[in-house]
Amino acid sequence: MQRTIDWVDDQIHLIDQTRLPDELVILRVAALDPLIDAIARLAVRGAPALGVAGGLGVALLARLHPGDEAAVRDGAARLRAARPTAVNLAWGVDRALARLSDGPDAVLAEALAIRDEDIAACAAMATRGADLVEGLVARRPIRVMTICNTGALAAVERGTALGVVGELFARGILEEALPLETRPLLQGSRLTAWELTQMGAPFRLLVDGAAASVLARGLADVVLIGADRVTANGDTANKVGSFALALAARHAGVPFLVVAPESSVDLATPDGAAIHIEERGSDEVLAFRGIRSAPEGTRTLNPAFDVTPASLITAIVTDHRVVRTDRGETPG
């Protein structure tokens, strides 16, 4: 299996997700600027994968600048700021940077530990999440709605919310997945549909605007999403559209589950109001793959994320625990 991101021959190898589903291209990153570019243009994305990218990026810097801690720390600060909403990127950078005084090999060992822990965390979340879904949903087989991409492409292997879908499929109790296309960059249709096809799991793709009515018609049994940051009170930042999906799930009486590694839990951030929401460029909204879809001069508002309040979340599943927010539990 091709890992989404890995360390190979003193370089960072990662799948260029902007090229999917048309072709599988591996980027070989040997310097900081190409890594920052890959993160900024979403060639690598997804909270767990960004955590690994942060750690491996510092390892790369330490090998490029042996004995020059100032250069490594300056580069690490640039890397840390490449995407502000996803806490895992900063977490991975800081964790690897803490080993800098022990030398480049120690930094690399820490980065590889982050990678290996992510693989184990995704396996744990898949099992814990599938067990919870089985307990919450009486209907068999089960129909799962999801948004954006939370599979192996968002991690090193397997993924978070889509990893749970894969586990349900492996247990023989998945009727179908219902991924949303996920505007404006179509991570659901480009990436999640591609992963489900590779998996062999049954699915039907929905336009984003159909989600509420599909839930209201009783055509989905549970909603599973990932998270880029979970605050101390249980508010969750995820791909824009997640908040609307949570509102629709509440109206339909459908469980709404967040699946994210413990590294995405940010106890230093008290609630969603304190999360910085990344605003991205106009081109993502005005055009797609170079084809303009709006009149010249159109202004845009393009938040990459939104915040779902804990009051709309049934439970948060991590690799270590299940936080039942519907019972008043909080991650903190």
Q: Are residues 52 and 143 in the same domain?
A: no
**Residue 94 near residue 80 (C-beta atoms within 8 A):** yes
Provide the pLDDT for residue 25.
97
Q: What is the pLDDT of residues 9-46, one digit of tens each?
A: 999 999 999 999 999 999 999 999 999 999 999 999 99
Q: What is the pLDDT of residues 127-149, one digit of tens each?
A: 999 999 999 999 999 999 999 99
Provide the pLDDT for residue 305.
96
The residues annotated with a catalytic role in the active site are 228
Q: Are residues 27 and 174 in the same domain?
A: no
State mean pLDDT over 66-80: 96
- Spatial CB neighbours of 314, under 8 Å, sequence gap ≥ 6: 136, 255, 256, 257, 324, 325, 326
- With H, G, I as helix, E, B as strand and everything else as coil, classify residue 145: strand
State mean pLDDT over 207-236: 98
Rounded CA separation 175/189 (Å) = 19
Helix spans in the chain (H): 32-40, 47-64, 69-80, 87-97, 104-136, 161-170, 187, 193-199, 211-216, 242-252, 283-286
248 within domain boundaries: yes
Name the nearest CA neighbour of 177 among 152, 201, 212: 201
Q: Are residues 203 and 62 in the same domain?
A: no
48 within domain boundaries: yes
Q: What is the pLDDT of residues 285-331, one digit of tens each?
A: 999 888 999 999 999 999 999 999 999 999 999 999 999 999 999 99
Provide the pLDDT for residue 288.
86
Q: What is the pLDDT of residues 80-116, one digit of tens each?
A: 999 988 789 999 999 999 999 999 999 999 999 999 9
75 within domain boundaries: yes
State mean pLDDT over 257-264: 96
44 torsion bin: left (phi>0), alpha (psi -120 to 50), beta (else): beta
Tokens encoding 86: 């996803």
Q: Are residues 237 and 289 in the same domain?
A: yes
Q: Are residues 68 and 86 in the same domain?
A: yes
Q: Are residues 175 and 59 in the same domain?
A: no
Domain that holds residue 86: 5-118
Of 118, 151, 168, which residue is a domain's last? 118
Provide the pLDDT for residue 102.
97
Question: Residue 225: pLDDT band by 50, 70, 90 thresholds?
Answer: very high
Q: What percent of the chain has pLDDT over 90?
A: 97
Tally of structural domains, the chain: 2
Q: Are residues 72 and 219 in the same domain?
A: no
Provide the pLDDT for residue 290.
84
Rounded CA separation 123/43 (Å) = 24
Q: Are residues 132 and 113 in the same domain?
A: no
Mean pLDDT of the residues in the chain: 96
Q: Are residues 285 and 226 in the same domain?
A: yes
- Spatial CB neighbours of 63, under 8 Å, sequence gap ≥ 6: 10, 104, 108
Count CB neighbours of 280 within 10 A: 18
332 within domain boundaries: no
What CATH number is given to the structural domain containing 304? 3.40.50.10470
Provide the pLDDT for residue 157.
95
Provide the pLDDT for residue 1.
67
pTM for this prediction: 0.93
Q: Are residues 71 and 139 in the same domain?
A: no
Q: Are residues 51 and 185 in the same domain?
A: no
**Residue 262 near residue 331 (C-beta atoms within 8 A):** no
136 torsion bin: left (phi>0), alpha (psi -120 to 50), beta (else): alpha
Rounded CA separation 192/161 (Å) = 11
Of 118, 139, 172, which residue is a domain's last? 118
Q: Are residues 85 and 134 in the same domain?
A: no
Q: At what angle do helices 47-64 and 32-40 cross, to 10 degrees?
A: 170
What CATH number is given to the structural domain containing 95? 1.20.120.420
Neighbour-count burial of 290, counting CB atoms closer than 10 A to its CB (0-12 exposed, 13-18 middle, 19+ buried): exposed
229 torsion bin: left (phi>0), alpha (psi -120 to 50), beta (else): beta
Of 93, 118, 143, which residue is a domain's last? 118
